[in-house]
Amino acid sequence: MKFSTKAIHAGQEPDPSTGAVSIPIYQTSTYAQEGIGKNRGYEYARTQNPTRSALESNLAALEGGRACFAFASGMAATNAVMTLLRAGDHVIVSDNTYGGTFRLFDKILKKFGVEFSYVDAREPQNVEDAARPETRMVFIETPTNPVMSLVDIKAVGEITRRRGVRLVVDNTFMSPFFQQPLELGADIVVHSTTKYLNGHSDSIGGAVILNDEEDIAAMAFIQNAAGAIISPMDAWLVMRGTKTLAVRMKQHDENGRIVAQFLSEHPKVQRVYYPGLKSHPQYELARRQMTGFGGMISFETGSLENAGRVLEGVRLCTLGESLGGVETLISHPATMTHASVPEVERNRLGITDGLVRISVGIEDVEDIIADLDHAFGAI
């Protein structure tokens, strides 16, 4: 099956008890058992839920993995992956991940004796140079949030494979429609399903997709033991979202390219970060590693004041955190998504006070451009 067919059919067999074409929302905490040790494969809903299982089969198929585990949020998914580690283990992280990922590593997991090194992973050699005998994992986000720099998954995968270290890729920005990290050599993919997979800004969720049998068994154990599962309603909402993932992503990509071009030519914009622009320093890698560029763009307005004018001047674009919904969302990384990153570090990474991030939706692109153009008038 090709991608769009899998998105609609994988894990979506009609419900066995009624034939319902849309998988029911099994809103139950437990299941009736026939006798001691006799049940229909379902005992307690933290451990198994048919709606969640259907979503997990669907996402495993889309990412080309053997198994998927769905969680209550993207952060819960990342946290579950990190519990594969133990005290004394060392992790190499691409600097410039989502602020919440950095916060989880720096403020919580460090306390349990896991060590983290943050490297500029645009250059794979930096990953190699940071490796220690106790390194057990490399965690990357590509494209990175919010300055859209890329990590060469294949090149880093060669390093991790040689060293027997797991490579984890946060594939939230591209979705499996545009980027397939497992095929490129990653071991584990994590998602905030809250974003493109759900696509309608009406659910919070996360997912882990992987291939290694031992890690699959460990993740099944962790999902049940720690219990940060996605709810049946949210699982259903994400599944409804993935059915249209292909058509939505094509439109996000088409609109994204047009808006990026408009921004790059606008006199009030000092710099645009979008991997689909030829001026992006990793444009060639983007073309090699992704099959589209998506709808995430950041741009520099020059100052906090200018950023404020744009953010308050828009009428169609919604000022808010998050991304990947059908509606265009606009945000200010320095005070919103990346507020937990220290200021010095933010400035080093290019997350300046004047930086604005836009998640281009699938409205008519002329309307998005007219809205931005009007807002720029206030600068």
Q: Among 142, 179, 192, 298, indicate the residue that binds ligand PLP (CB under 6 A).
A: 192
Q: What is the dihedral of CA 193, 198, 199, 204, to 10 degrees?
A: -60
Of 145 and 298, nearer to ligand PLP (C-beta) is 145
Q: What are phi and psi of 304, to 5 degrees?
A: -60, -40
Nearest distance in Å: CB 100, ligand PLP = 5
Specify the pairing of strand 296-300 against strand 271-273: antiparallel
Q: Which of 144, 153, 123, 128 is nearest to 63 (CA)?
A: 153
* Binding pattern for the stretch 49-78 against ligand PLP, x by CB under 6 A and - elsewhere: ------------------------xxx---
Report how far residue 101's alpha carbon sits from residue 161's, in angstroms, rounded to the nearest whole number: 24
CA gyration radius for the chain? Answer: 21
DSSP label at residue 317: S
Q: Number of residues interacting with ligand PLP: please give it, by CB under 6 A.
A: 15
Which of the residues 95, 152, 170, 253 is marked catalytic? 170
According to DSSP, residue 229 is labeled B
Question: Can residue 204 be called a binding residue for ligand PLP (CB under 6 A)?
Answer: yes
- Between helix 74-82 and helix 213-226 the angle, nearest 10°, is 120
Determine which one of 195, 248, 257, 309 is catalytic.
195
Pick the closer one to ligand PLP by CB: 135 or 192. Answer: 192
Q: Which residue from 11, 65, 206, 361 is in contact with ligand PLP, where contact means CB under 6 A?
A: 206
With CB under 6 A as the contact rule, which of the stretches 93-101, 216-224, 351-359, 371-379 interacts with ligand PLP? 93-101
Query: Is 46 tagged catalytic?
Result: yes
Give the residue with the Cβ less far from ligand PLP, 180 or 194: 194
Alpha-carbon distance of 327 to 305, in angstroms, equals: 25
Q: For residues 136 and 191, which CB has a smaller minimum distance to ligand PLP in the complex?
A: 191
- Amino acid in position 342: P
Annotation marks residue 346 as catalytic: no
Q: Which residues bind to ligand PLP, rule: CB under 6 A?
A: 73-75, 98, 100-101, 141, 145, 170, 172-173, 192, 194, 204, 206
